[in-house]
Amino acid sequence: MESLLKVRNVSKRFPGVLALDRVDFDLAPGEVHALLGENGAGKSTLVKIITGAYRMDSGNIFVAGQEVNFHTPGDAQRAGIGVIYQEFSLVPSLTVAENLFLGDYPTRRGLIDWKAMNAAAATLLSRFGVNARADDVLSSLGVATRQMVEILKVLHREDLKILIMDEPTSSLSEGEAKTLFGFIRTLRGQGVSVIYISHRLDEIKQICDRVTVFRNGQKVSTEQAQDLSISDIVTKMIGADLAEHYPQKCTALGEIYLNVDKLTGPGFTDVSFSARKGEVLGITGLVGAGKSEMVETLFGARRFESGSITLAGQDFRPKTPRQAVAKGIGLLPESRKEQGLVLALSCAQNVSLASLDKISKPFLALGAEADIAIDSFKRLEIRPADPHNRVVNLSGGNQQKVVLAKWLMRDCQVLLFDEPTRGIDVGAKFQIYSMIVKLAEAGNTVIVASSEIEEISGICNRALVMRKGRLVGELTGAGLAREKILEAIAGGEK
């Protein structure tokens, strides 16, 4: 069958990196095609070239047999190509219909035609089987449904033929991702072709027809998804077998270091637990269960209303993150772009921001800054390994590693990780896990908030389960098996 989208021999160079090296890519009509590869492999760069956000250095792109060269994302959209990035662009306080037609509300005699708008929205929702009403306020919907509205918003405009999704599920729980997959199948049934980028490899076989793998800016292969196992995919991605999986957990736990008693605050109610030195304590649950709120409160980024926290036996009421940092607490936040990085600064500057006091005695020693950064760059395999590179130029996954490096450089006694491996490729994931376990072995207390069941099961000594802001269970030993965690999270709502 003739390809709907044909990419031929496309190259793109950034200063110091050949991001795409004579790449070919084919998208058939009505297929869901996975685009996979390690952090920095060139996936997002290809997407940006296809959609006109970046210009290619050389190569050709054809849509339905016609050569195209888009200069702006608007051009691409008019040609029937839409792209969804991970960040939401919807307005939570507006209704579904208002969001869908934001910017081009249907009008009648100069006034917004609410009736027509709601009717058009209702048709769209039912055509694609989205379980929401036109007049639902967006903030009342779950994340997966919001993501579908986001997709519909792009879809309905110019009657899209090609939808590109760059890591659409990284903020969804497993259940929500399933809902989104159902939706993607519906799209395919309606004749839309999809390019699907994700680091959650287990998803790929569930929804993708074909899989293309990139490595270091080159295409490695394109194959039928059903012919590949996850370990085949991993081998292609990293160019070798991934020998080890999860690190050996540390078993020598020390005394209780952090204690939380009947803590109530925005997003959680009456939560009590304690964590020991040398322990990796997981906090799991669906998106919205209160995990992030909990760790942000421990970090002083949110105020609690009642209850108490003790740190090494002392009452601890952090009012600001600065106070928490002074007490040896570090947080790797969930939304790294907003909270963790200064995009315009270099990597080295970002890494050292968290420990300026260590480096500046009394003046900022720029040499030391770069040295320390280079060391953590090696450990985390941040690519390209140039600490003077501006963070804004790194791929999504590599940006996250910079945030991680930033906190690893500090001497913290308590490390809080919120979804530590979101958007990070398989190879780097296991390096991060082994670093987390090493931090615990060194006697630190580590708390990992995660909705990735594998991760909780693989690295935690113990896991707390949260649902709707409350602690509903605690898992240890055999309770940390994958299916047990799943069961605890779902809590009867199967």
- Give me the residues that bind ligand ATP (CB under 6 A), please: 14, 17, 19, 37, 39-45, 383-384, 393-398, 425
| Interaction between residue 44 and Mg ion (CB under 5 A) | yes
- What b-and-e string marks burial along 124-152, b requiring 16 or more CB atoms within 10 Å of the CB? bbeebebebebebebeebbbbbbbbbbbb
The sign of the dihedral angle between the CA atoms of 369, 375, 379, 380 is positive
Select 180 or 424, whichever has its Cβ closest to Mg ion. Answer: 424
Select 38 or 293, whichever has its Cβ closest to Mg ion. Answer: 38
| Interaction between residue 217 and Mg ion (CB under 5 A) | no
| Interaction between residue 450 and Mg ion (CB under 5 A) | no
β pairing state of 414-418 and 329-332: parallel
Select 263 or 391, whichever has its Cβ closest to ligand ATP. Answer: 391
| Interaction between residue 396 and Mg ion (CB under 5 A) | yes
Q: Which does 179 bind (CB under 5 to 8 A by kind): Mg ion, ligand ATP, none?
A: none
Rounded to 10 deg, the angle between the 174-189 and 143-158 helix axes is: 20
Tokens for 132? 């929401």
Q: Is the separation of the CB atoms in 334 and 279 below 8 Å?
A: no
The owner of tokens 């113990």 is 462
Residues 72, 59: Cα–Cα separation, whole Å: 17
**Residue count at the site for Mg ion (CB under 5 A)?**
3
Q: Which does 393 bind (CB under 5 to 8 A by kind): ligand ATP, Mg ion, none?
A: ligand ATP
Select 43 or 219, whichever has its Cβ closest to ligand ATP. Answer: 43
Which of 166, 210, 208 is closest to 187 using CA atoms?
A: 208
Q: Nearest approach, Cβ of 349 to ligand ATP (angstroms)?
A: 17
Q: Nearest approach, Cβ of 390 to ligand ATP (angstroms)?
A: 8
Q: Nearest approach, Cβ of 266 to Mg ion (angstroms)?
A: 32
Q: Is the separation of the CB atoms in 313 and 397 below 8 Å?
A: no
Select 14 or 114, whichever has its Cβ closest to ligand ATP. Answer: 14
Q: Which does 14 bind (CB under 5 to 8 A by kind): ligand ATP, Mg ion, none?
A: ligand ATP
Measured CA distances, 273 to 48, 137, 155, 449 (Å)? 46, 36, 46, 14
Binding part of the chain for Mg ion, among 36-44, 77-85, 127-135, 321-329 by CB under 5 A, reads: 36-44
Q: Is the separation of the CB atoms in 250 and 432 below 8 Å?
A: no
Q: Which does 77 bind (CB under 5 to 8 A by kind): ligand ATP, Mg ion, none?
A: none
Q: How many CA atoms lie within 13 A of 60 on its CB side?
A: 7
Q: Nearest approach, Cβ of 14 to ligand ATP (angstroms)?
A: 3
Select 39 or 297, whichever has its Cβ closest to ligand ATP. Answer: 39
| Interaction between residue 45 and Mg ion (CB under 5 A) | no
Q: Nearest approach, Cβ of 146 to ligand ATP (angstroms)?
A: 22
| Interaction between residue 37 and Mg ion (CB under 5 A) | no
Select 394 or 464, whichever has its Cβ closest to ligand ATP. Answer: 394
Select 44 or 450, whichever has its Cβ closest to ligand ATP. Answer: 44
Measured CA distances, 383 to 164, 250, 366, 428 (Å)? 25, 30, 21, 11
In the complex, residue closest to ligand ATP by CB? 397
Q: Which does 384 bind (CB under 5 to 8 A by kind): Mg ion, ligand ATP, none?
A: ligand ATP
- CB neighbour class for 193 (10 Å; exposed up to 12, middle 13-18, buried from 19): buried
Contact residues for Mg ion, defined by CB under 5 A: 44, 395-396
